[in-house]
Chains A and B, each alone.
Chain A
């Protein structure tokens, strides 16, 4: 979910924009150091991939539909720095070209959909690398689920802190959290299936994750 214009007060919006811009600056420097000549092309193409993947795919009724958020997937496959830079490009294009998410809420949406989920997924990734028996598909599923949960929690926190005091913060958190339980689990399943397809067709693309490969007898993604 993207926060629109006028839902969170100005000080919190500007603060989030400052933290978001600083995060993208740090992530951008790390991407430039690591990817060198691919520092523009790889994040740009993956941002395009996320823009496409976020187009509503499977309708779930009442105006909502299942689609990939993708921050968890990108974090597992190419790392949190690339993911943060990607999502920054994604939220700018969505806000200015697709009218999805507020222009004055750009920082809020960057923190909620990029920085927080990328860090959550990176923590899962670090744990997964220690447990050598856990396959990349399982790590991807858990990382994507927790990334989406982190995104929902950040959105709820932003609305609770900078929103209105007309309802208790707990109610906002409950409504957003409850709505995202299914979304987070769906993200995990979809991400595992996508990783399964990649593992079957181009296992070399998963080497960078430094995780145990998927067993090719698994049925997911077949």
Chain B
């Protein structure tokens, strides 16, 4: 799940290294946030601008070789947001229009569809970062951008442990669910798996602690972040990484 955020089609160790992979993570993070900020502050109803932003995001995602299946799964998780946006159209103020027999607020429709567009652009843009940046690189980037070391250590360690615990919970759920009968069996299977997994999680804390003590220190920082091997940003890197944001800003000002 969080094993580096690379394409599901790739086996561990098989990684298509493209131009985006080689960019320093801190520049990619800043470039992403800048792009998303430009998109976020675009007024609702400026659909030509939002379409241009979507085109920029799709271009970057294509260069990052984001698997379509991954994108589809992430869009599916946002169905509740689409429902919420739809209520903006049905319950919105002001003049109304008829769409497929439904009476919808013009302003509400504009705001709702703009919000869904922005959420979609966000998912595509983040997916481009996630597909080309390992968790270790992301954590290093955040550290270089000035986030406190204890917090970036925490993020790095939790992302790695999620991979371990995730596989474990799947096995536990399967084991509980094949033995379950009746209406609530799915629920009890989930509860059992999560209960046992919580116990195993506390046991993992003990194991990690023991390993850290065996290495002769109580700090985990140096182990979590493999900093020096990850390239640092140069002027050219910064220019390339902020190119999508610049393109988004240009369309916002010109279109």
Stretch at the interface among A111-119, A122-130, A143-151, A192-200: A192-200
A1-42 contacts to B (CB < 8 Å) = 1, 4-7, 10, 13, 24, 28, 32, 37-42
- Give the contacting residue for B199; candidates A38, A42, A205; CB below 8 A: A205
Main secondary structure of the interface of B (DSSP, over half): helix
B127-145 contacts to A (CB < 8 Å) = 127, 129-130, 135, 138, 142
A interface, CB within 8 angstroms of B: 1, 4-7, 10, 13, 24, 28, 32, 37-49, 51-53, 55-58, 62-64, 66, 68, 73, 77, 85-86, 88-90, 92-93, 95-100, 102-104, 164, 166-168, 171-172, 175-176, 179, 189-190, 193-198, 201-202, 205, 221
Does B48 touch A at the CB level, under 8 Å?
no
The answer to whether B220 touches A40 (Cβ under 8 A) is: yes
A102–B39 CA distance with the chains assembled, in angstroms: 12
Chain B interface residue count: which class?
A: 35 or more
The answer to whether A44 touches B158 (Cβ under 8 A) is: yes
A51–B108 CA distance with the chains assembled, in angstroms: 34
The answer to whether B36 touches A48 (Cβ under 8 A) is: no
B interface, CB within 8 angstroms of A: 1-2, 5, 29, 32-33, 36-37, 39-42, 44, 74, 76-81, 83-84, 87-88, 91-94, 105, 107-108, 111, 114-115, 118-119, 121-123, 126-127, 129-130, 135, 138, 142, 148, 150-151, 153-155, 157-162, 164-166, 169, 173, 186-188, 190-192, 194-199, 201-202, 204-205, 208-209, 212, 218-221
A residues less than 8 Å from B1 (CB atoms): 51-52, 55, 98
